[in-house]
Amino acid sequence: MKNKGRVTLPTEQNFLKETKELIDKWGADAVRDSDGTELDKGIIELDTKVYKTYFVARGHNDFIKKHLEEMQQLYLMSKFNTATDKTLEVALMDGYYEEQIEPDYRHDPKKWWEVIDRTTGDVVATENWSVNKEDHTVNINNVEPFHEYTVSFLVYMKWDPTHMYNHITNDWGDAPHDIPFDVRQPNSQAYMKDYLKKWVKENPETDVVRFTTFFYHFTLVFNDLAKEKFVDWFGYGSTVSVSVLEAFEKEKGYALRPEDIVDQGYYNTAFRVPSKAYLDYIDFVQAFVAEQAKELVDIVHDAGKEAMMFLGDNWIGTEPYGKYFEKIGLDSVVGSVGDGATLRMIADIPHIKYSEGRFLPYFFPDTFNENNNPVTEANERWLSSRRAMMRNPLDRIGYGGYLHLAYEFPEFVEYIGKVTDEFRDIISHVDGSKPLTKLKVAFVSSWGKLRSWQYFMVSHALWYKQIYTYQGILESLSGLPVDVDFISFDEIKENGVPEDVSVIINAGDAGTAFSGGDHWTDPKLVGNIRKWVHNGGGFIGVGEPSAVSHQGRYFQLADVLGVDKELGFSLSSNKYFTETTTGHFLNRNRTDFDYGESMKNIYATSKDTTILDYSDGEVHLSSSTYGKGRSVYMAGLPFSVENTRLLYKAMMYAANKEDEYTTWHVTNANCEVNVYPEKGWYAIINNSMEQQKTDVYNGEGKALSYTLEPSELRWERI
Amino acid sequence: MKNKGRVTLPTEQNFLKETKELIDKWGADAVRDSDGTELDKGIIELDTKVYKTYFVARGHNDFIKKHLEEMQQLYLMSKFNTATDKTLEVALMDGYYEEQIEPDYRHDPKKWWEVIDRTTGDVVATENWSVNKEDHTVNINNVEPFHEYTVSFLVYMKWDPTHMYNHITNDWGDAPHDIPFDVRQPNSQAYMKDYLKKWVKENPETDVVRFTTFFYHFTLVFNDLAKEKFVDWFGYGSTVSVSVLEAFEKEKGYALRPEDIVDQGYYNTAFRVPSKAYLDYIDFVQAFVAEQAKELVDIVHDAGKEAMMFLGDNWIGTEPYGKYFEKIGLDSVVGSVGDGATLRMIADIPHIKYSEGRFLPYFFPDTFNENNNPVTEANERWLSSRRAMMRNPLDRIGYGGYLHLAYEFPEFVEYIGKVTDEFRDIISHVDGSKPLTKLKVAFVSSWGKLRSWQYFMVSHALWYKQIYTYQGILESLSGLPVDVDFISFDEIKENGVPEDVSVIINAGDAGTAFSGGDHWTDPKLVGNIRKWVHNGGGFIGVGEPSAVSHQGRYFQLADVLGVDKELGFSLSSNKYFTETTTGHFLNRNRTDFDYGESMKNIYATSKDTTILDYSDGEVHLSSSTYGKGRSVYMAGLPFSVENTRLLYKAMMYAANKEDEYTTWHVTNANCEVNVYPEKGWYAIINNSMEQQKTDVYNGEGKALSYTLEPSELRWERI
């Protein structure tokens, strides 16, 4: 008999028969509409839950057009302008998209804007500049020739960025632009609640209100060629307004400067070590968002429906790992899953009844066309996310896009049938129990728990040359038999490393929020970590860990790591330690490591450093001991099955647990084993699309040989 | 008839006949002794000048043993020591060589030493530490557990570093160690003059006193395994003493801290942006050295002899490009020449009657043995330095080592005969006239003129991975038809870029004295350069020019360069400009560039940047315009004939002079042409050891074809 449940399908009008067929084949128990599609009446009468997409702060142009003063705002910075004379004209809109934004002249620029001499960092006195509203320019007097100047100015955002993106991408022509509004403003505030109350009544067939999302879109600004100019999936740019700034000052007792938001043009991206002002600001917004979202969720609940949130688009302020999220009272969060780290980002969300992952590929023509077999991508995505699922399964999975496109690919339909069965099979075996865990690792950065599984991300799931080397750590961790925590520098400063943590990881390029920048000049941070490692903790550094030039060190934990980076200042000190140790636990079975972008000029600081990979005058992999503790340094860790193995071994080694490595262990790096002691199962997975032979060592270290078919998942009794 | 003159030979005892033969074959007119060799009596009677090596502040153990309190001193820093408890013992000599140094307990450690908490940077109060002289330890109380501590302490240097190096390298057994002394001390001060007065009388056959060198050795400290621990050819470490510190305070009105010298353990290497205190200190030492050296030179002159200085060993404080050098009144400077840059370093020295280059290879068994043909190295060295000679010839050349070794290689003897003839031939054609120059380039760094031709050097002529990418610029410049100046950031801040400069170069890794570090936050520096480029100047940046994170830029001259470096903070800003321009003046004939260590994450800041080489998501070569001026960015420039050509073209392009590129121009990059208008000659050189065909364009841009034999130098009438 066919398994059923835990699967959500997109659907569309005039596709009832085929939808029923797919519901059956995939065991779906819920259907949903998409942006721009409507549910077929017939679907509503089936025995499936119905999700309906709901926009809070966009898609209500009739309302907002009467209250344009409540449009969402944004602080922007002009281009850098070099003065060649004693006066300078700055064109505000140079490089910006006039369809998206317009300068805010409603509020006094002299109060809310800032002109900065970027050569000195000084703010230009307001009497030295004036605004020309006709041509959107600022004229600055008494400038210093050959200094650069910028203007930080408030704008209105006239077009919701996601709507704009879809509109431009799909060439929707003269379709009206969704105008986003700020629910902090009085009319919007009242409207959003009244409308939802009305809406829940008018949509009795909807079981689940899928908020897409709440109030504030992540920062997405287009340029004058209508192309993406600035994107930060974590950005609070579009939460700004005069009223939030005024409310902030009232509550926190100090006013923010435009520069606190504009941040030299970096706009406080997640890669910037956050300032106190910025942390205060996002906390303030989060509290407001949670409070307001709760009111909407309450309306949904009062109507007897469930409230689900999409993790994306207007998600700013809702951070599911933040301290206010629980208050919202959501039933569920749904998000896009492309790999293990994004799966865990959804699956690990606390304080909800169930999580749902929208799997890839999307049913769009770019994948579903006659020249492509969508099974390939589906299989790859499933394999990379399944290993994370074995650690913490999602409660539901689903798909998106045009169902009729998927229907045209029978092989795909059949494959997804297997995937959905396998998914339900995992859930039924795991059954809420905790898989065996070898140790607990804490990833330390400026962001701590708030950005769990989101480190090194710029735009959701996009590849960047500067991040893949570090994102590999998260991707590897997502399926490894370890508990993963995320912890901030501030927490370690205050409370030290938590008792239950065996290993901490610090990774990233110097100066970023992930490596830590100036945090590392804080004696409490380095002192607490040193003490903890000295007492037996494990420290793993990747790239430029603990890096800031201070008091003769670049890596502030060079004493713990046994390596530092040569910046040129210490070239005069001979670097004698270059000999590689072979046959070490970490390089015994493998020597062809891949460090991605890698890191130059790393050298061992003493003869006690165990160098495990050295070439071209540089250390790439090493370990060191520090009191009772150990450290491992890696020049980079892009994702691969081999690097996953390396990270796993590095954690076991750093935790002084290499003896436990060979219990519940598979010899073939393409395979993994997970154990569910409460349920008496273990599962061996083949993460590759080829057949694999592997030995599996059980809890007593006894080996059994297995041959696994491509992508196979094998359940065995312990 | 055989040319004669301008050549110096080393010689040795019991080798008279052969020496005469070589004097004849190489046209030598001077002979010299070496460290450890004595001149043969017979030599002295020949018609050649006699140079004699003279040590001022070493090699006088009979004297110094009676005044050990006048031994040379040094500030050293202990290792970093991590406290794990409330007290900490620091072993001062850990990692140091007891034969070389001993802690100075004569002067009160509480006054002259410093204990520093390197985790906070705070100085530990003197009441919290004590010295144990028996086992050379410092005991610190009330320490913060898991902070790192260092002790900066004064030591005596008991062994001259060059003598020590030779002793250890050549295994001289129990030969006594040359004890260096500080001529600032009263007995040493009197002794050095009295002894020289006596010596000049006792050495009537000596025509030239070759000071090897004056008073203070560059910093060279050995470790506990008697291997080099720290070497800085520019280091003032061994100029330190209590008396210089007291004299400094008296003259400058403030006292130096040990940390001003120890500098976090970096010891103010030439790669550190110098502090004001350090600049004051070296200026103070230079003034003293010049004054004292002058007194010795006067004694030599009064005895009717010439005074020559060796550029190396105890040369600290004499800097030939410094402001006090002229006062010394030397007749000559001699230094080791291995390539073009080291040749120019000697040849360009002002205020002397003649310069002399000691050419390589040294007549030592490592090169002169049955398995090696020394002609190969001699030929390579001659070719690389000859191109610099064409710009500014040395007045004399010479050789070093054991003459009998050279004599055993007849092919070598013959080859050097050709070289010495060619050298004299160059001098006779150039005859003191100035070669044609296309433009003047100024290399800007923290050091300016003081370290002319010495940028990026750690230890004289040694290769380091971190420097070759930048040293190539100097090597290329040494033979190019441009005037080369060296200028400091401070000079540009005060006076702007000099009128006669067409192009300035800023190169190096971020934060180094060469790139400039915090200098670039000074509005006067960036303002003056921007203004100058805007008015038509040319700016060439290599590696990380003008790099310091400040006000939204990493390259502070990103506006001039059209490129900046991504540190991770601006990943959210899309980087659209990636298209390469082909057929540009700089990449028209070549696209396979070599950037050495290169530079990651460089991106074009606007569409106006002309990208000339782009791959792997990075700009490697680009140009930009800025007002009437131009800039060129290069990711690195190791030396090669092709890169020399690239630099030359980049300078011509940056100076808006690409039209003048094809006058007096050779088409083959292995060849170069130099023109001597006053004398009516031009010279074409083949810098390779293969035959080369090339077109030569004359002053009217008319081409003539040439075929040059391997290494050929051809003189032609204009």
pLDDT in tens, A484-504: 999 999 999 999 999 999 999
Strand pairing partners for A615? A618
Say if domain A439-659 classifies as CATH 3.40.190.10: no
Provide the 10 A C-beta neighbour count for residue A463. Answer: 9
d(CA B237, CA B153): 12
> Is the confidence at residue A18, as pLDDT, over 70?
yes
Which tens digit of pLDDT belongs to each residue from B562-593? 999 999 999 999 999 999 999 999 999 888 89
**What's the CA angle centered on B406, arms B403 and B411, to 5 degrees?**
150
Cβ A466–B568 below 8 Å, yes or no? yes
Do residues B620 and B597 make contact, with C-beta atoms less than 8 angstroms apart? Answer: no
d(CA B655, CA A501): 61
Which tens digit of pLDDT belongs to each residue from A28-68? 999 998 766 677 788 878 889 999 999 999 999 999 999 99
Facing residue for A568 by CB, picked from B466, B523, B568 = B466
Pairing between strand A681-686 and B439-445? unpaired
> CA of A117: which chain B residue's CA is closest?
B551
Cβ B569–A511 below 8 Å, yes or no? yes
Cβ B144–A231 below 8 Å, yes or no? no
> CA of B270: which chain A residue's CA is closest?
A569
Q: pLDDT band at A115, cuts 50/70/90?
A: very high
Catalytic residue flag (residue A313): yes
Fold matches, A439-659 and A665-717:
no
In the predicted model, what is the mean pLDDT of chain B?
Answer: 96
Interface of B with A in 237-266 (CB under 8 A): 264-266
- Angstrom CA distances, A118 to A349, B142, B506, B526, stand at 41, 45, 21, 11
Please count the residue pairs, one from chain A and one from chain B, whose beta carbons lie less than 8 angstroms apart: 181
| Domain ranges, ordered by start, for chain B | 7-57+186-234+274-430, 439-660, 665-717
CB-neighbour burial class of residue B591 (10 A; exposed 0-12, middle 13-18, buried 19+):
exposed
> Is the confidence at residue B467, as pLDDT, over 60?
yes
Which tens digit of pLDDT belongs to each residue from A529-587? 999 999 999 999 999 999 999 999 999 999 999 999 999 999 999 999 999 999 999 99
CA atoms within 13 A on the CB side of B275: 14
**Using a CB-CB distance cutoff of 8 angstroms, which residues of chain B are in contact with residue A568?**
271, 466, 508-509, 511-512
**pLDDT computed for residue A1 by the predictor:** 42
**Using a CB-CB distance cutoff of 8 angstroms, which residues of chain B are in contact with residue A549?**
511
Interface of B with A in 544-563 (CB under 8 A): 549-553, 559
Which tens digit of pLDDT belongs to each residue from B409-431? 999 999 999 999 999 999 999 98
d(CA A22, CA A16): 10
d(CA A30, CA A6): 8
In the predicted model, what is the mean pLDDT of chain A?
Answer: 96
Task: Kindly report the CATH class assigned to B665-717.
Answer: mainly beta
User: Is A128's Cβ below 8 Å from some Cβ in B?
Assistant: no
> Is the confidence at residue B161, as pLDDT, over 50?
yes
Cβ B466–A530 below 8 Å, yes or no? no
Which tens digit of pLDDT belongs to each residue from A390-446? 999 999 999 999 999 999 999 999 999 999 999 999 999 998 999 999 999 999 999
> Is the confidence at residue B203, as pLDDT, over 70?
yes
> Is the confidence at residue B2, as pLDDT, over 80?
no
Least Cα distance to B192 among B56, B64, B305, B67 occurs for B56
Residue B691, token pair as written in the block: 């035959």
Cβ B574–A549 below 8 Å, yes or no? no
User: Is B493's Cβ below 8 Å from some Cβ in A?
Assistant: no
Interface of B with A in 267-326 (CB under 8 A): 267, 269, 271-272
State the architecture of B439-660 in CATH terms: 3-Layer(aba) Sandwich (3.40)
**Mean pLDDT over residues A614-618, rounded?**
96
**pLDDT computed for residue B36 by the predictor:** 62
Which tens digit of pLDDT belongs to each residue from A209-246? 999 989 999 999 999 999 999 999 999 999 999 999 99
**pLDDT computed for residue B283 by the predictor:** 97
What DSSP designation does B315 have?
B
| Phi/psi of residue B140, nearest 5 degrees | -110, 135
Interface of A with B in 140-179 (CB under 8 A): 144-148, 150
**Using a CB-CB distance cutoff of 8 angstroms, which residues of chain A are in contact with residue B259?**
none
Q: Which of A275, A460, A534, A572 to mutate to test the interface with B (most CBs of B within 10 A)?
A: A572
Cβ A534–B120 below 8 Å, yes or no? no
Facing residue for A568 by CB, picked from B271, B530, B617 = B271
Which tens digit of pLDDT belongs to each residue from B502-533? 999 999 999 999 999 999 999 999 999 999 99
**Using a CB-CB distance cutoff of 8 angstroms, which residues of chain B are in contact with residue A530?**
82, 146
**Using a CB-CB distance cutoff of 8 angstroms, which residues of chain A are in contact with residue B543?**
none
Which tens digit of pLDDT belongs to each residue from B70-80? 999 999 999 99
What DSSP designation does B519 have?
G
Facing residue for A571 by CB, picked from B147, B464, B530 = B464
**Using a CB-CB distance cutoff of 8 angstroms, which residues of chain B are in contact with residue A617?**
465
> Is the confidence at residue B544, as pLDDT, over 80?
yes
Which tens digit of pLDDT belongs to each residue from A135-190? 999 999 999 999 999 999 999 999 999 999 988 888 888 899 999 999 999 999 99
Cβ B527–A84 below 8 Å, yes or no? no
> CA of B535: which chain A residue's CA is closest?
A84
Q: What percentage of residues in chain A have a pLDDT greater than 90?
A: 93
**Mean pLDDT over residues A287-315, rounded?**
97
- Angstrom CA distances, B560 to A467, B532, B567, B631, stand at 28, 11, 19, 6
**Mean pLDDT over residues B532-550, rounded?**
98
Say if domain A63-184+214-289 classifies as CATH 1.10.357.10: no
The DSSP element (H or E) to which A193 belongs, if any, is helix A186-202
> CA of B533: which chain A residue's CA is closest?
A146
Cβ B559–A84 below 8 Å, yes or no? no
**pLDDT computed for residue B1 by the predictor:** 42
CA B717 from chain centre, in angstroms, equals 36
Cβ A144–B523 below 8 Å, yes or no? yes
Residue B492, token pair as written in the block: 């540009």
Pairing between strand B81-82 and B122-123? unpaired
DSSP secondary structure string, A579-640?
A: PBP-S-TTTSS------TT--SSEEESSTTSEEEEEETTEEEEEEEEETTEEEEEES-----
What amino acid is encoded at B287 in this protein? A
Q: pLDDT band at B335, cuts 50/70/90?
A: very high
> Is the confidence at residue B356, as pLDDT, over 70?
yes
* Catalytic one of B313, B483, B509, B559: B313
DSSP secondary structure string, B330-394?
A: -SEEEEEE-SHHHHHHHHT--S-SEEEEEESS-BSTTTSSTT--HHHHHHHHHHHHHHHHTTS--
Pairing between strand B563-565 and A7-10? unpaired
**Using a CB-CB distance cutoff of 8 angstroms, which residues of chain A are in contact with residue B467?**
571
Q: Which residues, at least 6 apart from B349, have a Cβ–Cβ distance to it below 8 Å?
A: B320, B321, B325, B333, B355
Task: Kindly report the CATH class assigned to B7-57+186-234+274-430.
Answer: alpha beta
> CA of A144: which chain B residue's CA is closest?
B527
| Phi/psi of residue A670, nearest 5 degrees | -80, -10
Cβ B571–A150 below 8 Å, yes or no? no
**pLDDT computed for residue B34 by the predictor:** 72
| Phi/psi of residue B57, nearest 5 degrees | -115, 25
Give the closest-approach CA distance of A261 to chain B in angstroms: 13
CB-neighbour burial class of residue B248 (10 A; exposed 0-12, middle 13-18, buried 19+):
buried
How many helices (H) and strands (E) chain A has is answered by 19, 36
**Using a CB-CB distance cutoff of 8 angstroms, which residues of chain B are in contact with residue A578?**
none
Which tens digit of pLDDT belongs to each residue from B621-643? 999 999 999 999 999 999 999 99
**pLDDT computed for residue A14 by the predictor:** 86
d(CA B415, CA A86): 65
Which tens digit of pLDDT belongs to each residue from B292-332? 999 999 999 999 999 999 999 999 999 999 999 999 999 99
**pLDDT computed for residue B260 by the predictor:** 98
